Each structure stands twice: as C-alpha cells, then as structure tokens.
Amino acid sequence: MLELVTYHENSPLLFTQVLFWVLFGSIILIYQFIYKNITTRNVLLLLASLYFYYMSSGFYFVLLLFSTIIDYYIGKKIFDSNDKKTRKLLVSISAVINLSLLAYFKYTFFFTDGLNTLFNLEIEQENYLAAFFNSLFDAGMDTSNIFLPIGISFYTFQTISYSVDIYRGDIKPVDNIWDFALFVSFFPQLVAGPIVRASEFIPQIHQQYKLKESEYGHALFLIAAGLVKKIMISDYISINFVDRIFESPWSYSGFENLMATYGYAIQIYCDFSGYTDIAIGVALLLGFRLPLNFNSPYKATDITDFWRRWHISLSSFLRDYLYIPLGGNRKGKVRTYINLFITMLLGGLWHGAHFRFIIWGCLHGGALAIHKLWMEYAGKKIGHFKYQNIIGGIITFHFVCYAWIYFRAEDMQHANSMISQILTNMDLSIALEVIMAYKYVFIVMGFGFFIHWIPQHWKDKLALEFITMPDFAKAAFLFFVGFILFQSRSSDIQPFIYFQF
C-alpha cells in the first residue's frame, strides 16, 4: 500500500507503467458514480492530477502549486487593472517568474558549465568564479545534480499563455483557483503535452460529461495506437539498435549510422506522438477534448509544412507567443527571416540545455527562412512543377533526419562523428549482413514508416474498423497490448520478442 503513495525517482509514474493503468481504471470506476456532479468530478480530477504529478516528480510538485498560485492571482490583477503600464508590468512578472523557474532547473548547468569551460575552470570551492555561480544557483551543490521536474516545460508555457491571453483580452480569468489548478495540472497532458491553452480547456471544466459511443471507441483506439507506437515500435527500435549506434557512431559503418538516423526519425515520432495519442484518448474518456498534436509530419512536402504537422501545439505556441510578438512578417522581409530564425533557435533551446539543441533550432530556423525566401522569389518564377511534392518530400525528410542527429547525439563529438561516418564510410557491401543481423529491428522500422506514410483515408478506415468492433474484441486487443506492456516492464525481455516473423 505504501508503494501507491511513495515517489520513486528511478521509476516515475508514466503512461507506460502498469500501475498507471491500474490507478486510472480506479478513477474511471469512481467516475461512473460522480460524473454528473460537475464540482465533485472536478475535485476528483484535480486530486488525481496532483497525485499523478507527485508520483512523477516527487517533492517538485510544489513548483506546480507555486506556478498555479502565482499566475492565478496575477491573472486576476491583470484583468482588474485599467492601467496599461500596470497590466504590462504584471504580465512581465508572470513571464519572468515562470521562465526563471524553468531556466534554473533546465539551464543552470548549461550556463555554469559554459562559463567554467570559457574560463577553463572546475566547480570547486577554491575556484572563486566557479564557486560563485555554484553557490548562486545551488547553494554549494554541484549544478550537474539539479533534477529537472517532469512536465515543467509544458505547464510553464500554459501558465504564461494564460496571463498573456488575459492581457490581450482574449479570455477572462477563471472563477476560482481550483479551476485554474485543474487546467494547469490536468494529468493526461501534463507530462508530455499537448500544450493546452486556457481558451480551449477551461470552458470544458463546466460542461456536462458527454461521450458518444463513437468517441468512446476512438479514445480506446488512440490509447491502443499510442501504446503500440511507444512500446512496440519506439522502445524496441531504441533499445535494440538506435541507442547502440548513437552511443558509439565511430564503431559502426556509415550505412549503420544512416539506418540509425532513419530509425531515430521514426522512434522519436512514435515516442512523442504515442504519448500524445494516449493523452488525448485518456482525456476523452474523462470527457475532455484535447487538440491534435501530430499529423503525419514525414508526409510534409517542405519544411514549413513539416512544422504545421510536427508538435502542432508547440509550433503554434511559438508562433503566437514569440514569432508574432517579435514582429512576425509585419516589419519587412529581412526582419521576418530573422524572427523565424530566433523563434526556432529558442524553440531548440526549449527542448534541452545543450549546444546541440541550439544547432538543431538554428538548422530549422534557417531552413524556414530559406524556404520562405525561395517561395517569394524562385517559387513564383518556377511555379508548380511535376513531381514537386515527391522531390520536396524527400528533401524535407532527409533534412529533418540530418537535424535529428544533433537532437539525439550525446554531444557535438558524437554528432560530428556520425555525420563523418555517413559521408566517408558508407560501405554498402555489408548492408545485407547488417539488415539480416537486425532483421526484426528493420521489420519494426519498416512497419513504423508504413503506418506513418499510408494515406489518411486508410488510417481513418482502420480507426473506424476498431471503433465498430464488438466491445469484447476491443477488450481483447487492449488486454493483448497490456500484456505486452506488463511483460516488458516486469522482465528483461523486450516487447517485440513475442512476434517471431
């Protein structure tokens, strides 16, 4: 019993743990008796959300409470004030407080490590500059030991957007702090998104629970699809192939490095979109509709199209709260290109505190600027030509894969080594040998890309087939997926070993 209320740092409570589904099943059971009473329902969801976040991040759930209280009262003050300077000051305070928390936990080591590298220093007490920053940021403790609270990047953006939207006059503040706390902490999307805006979520808090039979089936389909993506595809490819190559790219041929790059492309998609599918499905079962977050991004025919499809809630957030405030495309063409570059650079830094994320962001920012320049000049002259979408899709996919190398690599040395191996040591003579040695990995990779690239109407038909299945068939399939999940978490056997082709 104590295990159910004790946080374990090495085993946070996530969608891929059996315990999560046992607890979620308990919530759904209780839900059947109280969902008609909106207040009781919301209290249950708030308590469950705080519990799940505590089990995911431990004591750091206090930070979630802190951000909730601060932004709730700042939001009310912004709305009540008629003075423009005061309103601007308040929204600035909200941004500074939230971004400072994010910066401390996410970027302290990045900056202190950079300073120590710049001045050739070590983090020791006798080293005055290093000791100063070390004591400033973490009271004498090595900043490399700072724990990054799960989901802090997501709820920080949500609370900032709430204050900004009130400042802009797009929304009114919530009626009470409990509603706001539920918006900030709603457990299905708290850990891995999508980033939900107050205007989308808060009105649903006061709506009666409604779930059509087709929506119920769709929710189960999303959960099943998300688990398949995450466990059977992403985790399997990662553990059995991708991680090995990225850990030591110089030990493998260029062909193996290239295949690992393709593998990571489908791995990260199945990882991110899998979690999102589960989040949307779980939320839907609870009566809440979350926005689409991934839309077959590798079908993109250009880099702009890619960012309309990849992590949609993040890209739209960066557009509305960073790119447009910077000036967007309203201050001339050169400024537009600069704004695109800055937006993506900061978007890269949001993903992690490492120079390689900055490189990744710069690559995408530069590509977006170049594509916009191309469309404004060369694109108008050339027009639409035959096979443009196919050629554009191939170029876009390989550019994205190239950028993924920097995103995934442990450091710049690993990234440069992988690129060097691909360019100078391809050695296709061993391709068949490699494919046969990792035949199950390549089958899973192929399956992942296949389900990604099939036409949308095929996917819709597959979803409809699942939705219209008898309940016992749905239950059997979910039980099968759950069995694979349980086995993969309770033993060293990897999930896909059950499928012997």
List all residues 6 or more positions away from 451 whose beta carbon is below 8 Å from its beta carbon.
459
Classified as helix, coil or strand, 262 is: helix
Count of positions (residues) in the chain: 501
Concerning whether 364 is annotated as a catalytic residue, the answer is no
Is residue 116 within 8 A of residue 143, CB to CB? The reply is: no
Is residue 397 within 8 A of residue 453, CB to CB? The reply is: no
Structure tokens at 237: 């490819």
Residue in this structure with the two tokens 């690599």, named with its chain if needed: 409
List all residues 6 or more positions away from 248 whose beta carbon is below 8 Å from its beta carbon.
none
Structure tokens at 193: 């998104």
- Prior bond to 297 cis, omega within 30? no
Helix axes 128-138, 84-118, angle to 10 degrees: 140
Cβ atoms < 10 Å from Cβ of 24: 20
At CA 146, angle to CA 143 and CA 151, rounded to 5? 145
- What does the DSSP assignment read for 40-79? HHHHHHHHHHHHHHHHHHGGGHHHHHHHHHHHHHHHHHHH
- Amino acid letter for position 207: Q
At CA 273, angle to CA 13 and CA 239, rounded to 5? 65
Give one word for 202, left, alpha or beta, with left for phi > 0 and alpha for psi -120 to 50.
alpha
Dihedral sign for Cα 138, 140, 143, 144, please: negative
Q: How far apart are CA 227 and CA 219, in angstroms?
A: 12
How far, CA to CA in Å, does 46 sit from each of 181, 185, 193, 495? 7, 7, 17, 33
Identified catalytic residue from 218, 311, 351, 364? 351
Cα–chain center distance at 111? 23
- What does the DSSP assignment read for 196-232? --HHHHHHHHTSPP---HHHHHHHHHHHHHHHIIIII
Cβ atoms < 10 Å from Cβ of 422: 21
Query: Catalytic residue numbers?
Result: 351
